[in-house]
Amino acid sequence: MSILSGKNILLGISGGIAAYKTASLVRLFVKSGAHVKVVMTPSSKEFITPLTLSTLSKNPVYSSFTNEDDENSVWNNHVELGLWADLFVVAPATANTLAKMANGVCDNLLMATYLSAKCPVYFAPAMDLDMYKHPSTVRSFKVLASYGNIMIPATSGELASGLVGEGRMAEPEDIVSFIEDDILDKLPMRGKKVLITAGPTYEAIDPVRFIGNHSSGKMGFEIAKAAARLGAEVILVAGPTHEKVKHSNIKVIPVVSNKEMYDAVHAHFKVMDVAILSAAVADYRPKEVAKEKIKKKSDTLVLELEKTKDILASLGSIKEHQFLVGFALETNNELENAKDKLKRKNLNLIVLNSLNDKGAGFKSETNKVTFIDDKEHITEHQLKTKIQVAEDLMNKILKQINA
């Protein structure tokens, strides 16, 4: 999944021959999972039709302050368009449009929307080589950069004039890659490696039966998504679960038993910056696993159990630079038990939740947690969705590692 997934992208198209490439650009934005709306200058419609872009974006295309074919003259609200956008991409950005952007000339819907936008603005210049190097154009580049706008550099190649040189608009694939890389480079966990465990473990009794628990794995998967959204490279070690995730920054390692999870975690822990162990790992397993299905020969069945490996404690005993987070699901003496676990297992942070809280725990879309750090600072949160809890947790971790 691209970092652009779920984002609102407003594409501004000005009147240059490179406008024909915007059909591919819209398609790539949509393929990345973004929501796309298009604003065109009147002259850009000479190079590509609004119908093409509307079909590809699955949204109306805007090019004037009112709908030209609408007898009631409904106003296209440039303010709403500007505020809707998470990203504003002007491509192609002609010398004329760049000069207007630099000087605040507001004579069309695209410029009015640009002046109303509060989001990051990217622009991809497209013009002939002499225009590209002209002092007035160079000045426009500098002024726009001073406003915080981000230039997607033009490339060298054959131009519409027949000349070969700098001024060719970047290819659609390169524009998308540039924006993705720029966003990722600015994310607070870019370059960080995060290890997360999720779901239950199953400990076999025989080839058919197992000891397990009701964990769905949703909390761990949401934490993985939250870390990836912040730019982290995530290793997600997941026990048996129906949860799915598709993100370019998340590698899922499926496991079943405590031993498999232990081995997977230890194989990656050394190079991690953060480890968050949210899995509900089985504490005991059958001492002997039957090779054949156990038959019902009596009214009772006695199983001798032995302790499984304590994955969290094992990491706490070997951690060096890693920031280690554990979870505590309690039913009584919650704070005392969580604080004890925090110290015994050498954690930096523990996330406490209680089965006594309605809406918290397994198989729920919500959770109610309390954060306790290694200085025993306690932060209580109200009942929230697990998505929100994951975001709160990542913000808490960032605050502590950057302190």
Residues classed as catalytic: 213
| 124/171 Cα distance (integer angstroms) | 10
| 151/9 Cα distance (integer angstroms) | 16
Q: Which is it for the CA torsion 164, 169, 173, 174, positive or negative?
A: positive
| Joined tokens for residue 221 | 């998967």
Q: For residue 177, how many other CB atoms are within 10 A of its CB?
A: 15
Whole-number CA gyration radius for the chain: 28
| 400/388 Cα distance (integer angstroms) | 18
For 326, counting Cβ atoms within 10 Å of its Cβ (0-12 exposed, 13-18 middle, 19+ buried), the class is buried
Kindly list the strands in the beta sheet with 121-125, ordered across the sheet, starting from the edge strand earlier in the chain.
61-62, 35-40, 8-13, 87-93, 121-125, 150-151
